[in-house]
């Protein structure tokens, strides 16, 4: 693969065309462009190319990757000829043509969506809330002027029997003592 003559290049291109036609078969064996002794299944070929490219940097420097199909590794001197005749180029060009046609034909319809009416007034709700802040562990859950303030609220624990709420905040762990040596 390192020194491809004009005759060698044409056989290389015909081999590549066969590869393209048969590349739909995942079990088809393909020849590695970096090492002729490597026969790789088509489904593993992209992964092998990456690995083999790293293992053969001298050959990799003499090959160029096709911009239309990364499986196509072509000698650098022949890349312009390959780009002009690559079968995958027509697929990509067709996609570009189709996209430009669709952009001209598509007109975005104006949205008919309307915001539903809102019955919420968060500012009003804020003023209606009790003025006493929530404090963990206190039994006074209701404001003094609240209708529920005359109801006796008993403290209910959701903990399993035998467990209790800690009486203080967690202590500082020895490794989090803010740099103070002990």
Is residue 64 in some structural domain? yes
**pLDDT by residue (tens digit) across 119-133?**
888 888 777 776 666
Q: Which two tokens stand for residue 49?
A: 């190319």
Residue 121 falls inside a structural domain:
no
Q: In this predicted structure, which of 12-16, 61-65, 90-94 has the lowest mean pLDDT?
A: 12-16
Q: Is residue 88 part of a domain?
A: yes
Domain presence at residue 174: no
Range of the domain at 43: 29-104
Average pLDDT, the chain: 74
Separation between Cα atoms, residue 48 and residue 33, nearest integer Å: 10
Assess if residue 35 is contained within a domain: yes
Please indicate, yes or no, if residue 69 is contained in any of the structural domains. yes
End-to-end CA distance of the chain: 70
Q: What is the dihedral of CA 131, 137, 142, 144, to 10 degrees?
A: -70
Is the residue at 127 inside a domain?
Answer: no
The pLDDT score that the predictor gives to residue 1 is 43
State pLDDT tens for residues 135-165: 777 665 555 555 544 445 555 667 777 777 7
Closest CA to 42 of 56, 18, 25, 62: 25
Residue 159, in any domain of the structure? no
Tens of pLDDT, residues 82-102 = 888 888 887 777 777 777 777
List residues bridging with 73 in a β-sheet.
65
Global pTM value: 0.42
Determine the length of the chain.
182
How many domains, in total, are found in the chain? 1
Beta strands in the chain (DSSP E): 29-31, 39-41, 63-65, 73-75
């Amino acid at each position: 693969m390192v020194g491809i003559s004009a005759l060698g290049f044409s056989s290389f291109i015909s081999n590549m065309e066969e590869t393209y036609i048969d590349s739909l078969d995942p079990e088809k064996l393909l020849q590695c462009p970096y090492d002729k002794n490597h026969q790789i299944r088509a489904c593993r070929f992209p992964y092998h190319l990456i690995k083999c490219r790293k293992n053969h940097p001298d050959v990799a420097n003499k090959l160029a990757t096709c911009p239309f199909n990364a499986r196509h590794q072509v000698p650098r001197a022949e890349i312009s000829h390959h780009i002009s005749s690559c079968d995958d180029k027509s697929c990509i060009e067709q996609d570009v043509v189709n996209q430009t046609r669709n952009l001209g034909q598509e007109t975005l319809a104006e949205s008919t969506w309307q915001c539903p009416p809102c019955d919420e007034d968060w500012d009003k709700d804020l003023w209606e809330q009790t003025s006493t802040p929530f404090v963990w562990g206190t039994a006074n859950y209701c404001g003094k002027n609240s209708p529920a303030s005359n109801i006796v609220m008993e403290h209910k624990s959701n903990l399993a029997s035998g467990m209790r709420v800690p009486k203080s905040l967690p202590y500082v762990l020895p490794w989090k003592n803010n740099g103070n040596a002990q």
